[in-house]
Structure 1
Amino acid sequence: MSKVTNYINETVEEMKHKVSWPSYSELQNSSILVLIGSLIFALVVGAMDFVFDSGLTWFYNQF
């Protein structure tokens, strides 16, 4: 049990003193960048899905 307690204490110590946390403005900028990237990716995948669906529907309706 002492190994687990030691691990938790060392983890808390590292998180407090050795990790460099971003500032609030850096966090906002990164979050906005991720949001924009996710939206662009979703639009691209949605457009590809629409094109493939339309193409396959057209193809199957030919028979």
Structure 2
Amino acid sequence: MANIVNYISEAFEELKSNVTWPEWSEVQRLTIVVAVFSIVFALVTWGVDEMCAKSIAGIFNLIKS
């Protein structure tokens, strides 16, 4: 148990002393970039899904007819 507590305290010390944290403005800018990319990727995925669904429905309609 002492090893776990020692590991956690050393990890926090590492975060405080050796990690370079970005400025708040950079965090905001990169958050917006990630949000925009996520929305664009979701829309592209939705569009490809709709095209595949319509294609499969069209093929089944040709087979059924």
The answer for the alignment partner of 2:55 in structure 1 is 55
Q: Percent identity?
A: 37
Where 1:32 maps in the other structure, the secondary structure is: helix
Report deviation, 1:34: 0.3
Report deviation, 1:6: 1.6
Count of matched residue positions in the alignment of Structure 1 and Structure 2: 63
Q: Which amino acid in 1 is paired with 2:7?
A: Y
Report deviation, 1:3: 1.7
**TM-align CA RMSD:** 1.0
Alignment gaps of 5+ in structure 1:
none
1:23 aligns with 2:18: no
- For 1:27 and 1:9, the matched residues in 2 are separated by 26
Report deviation, 1:8: 1.4
- In the superposition, the TM-score normalised over structure 1's length comes to 0.90
- In the superposition, the TM-score normalised over structure 2's length comes to 0.88
- For 1:55 and 1:46, the matched residues in 2 are separated by 14
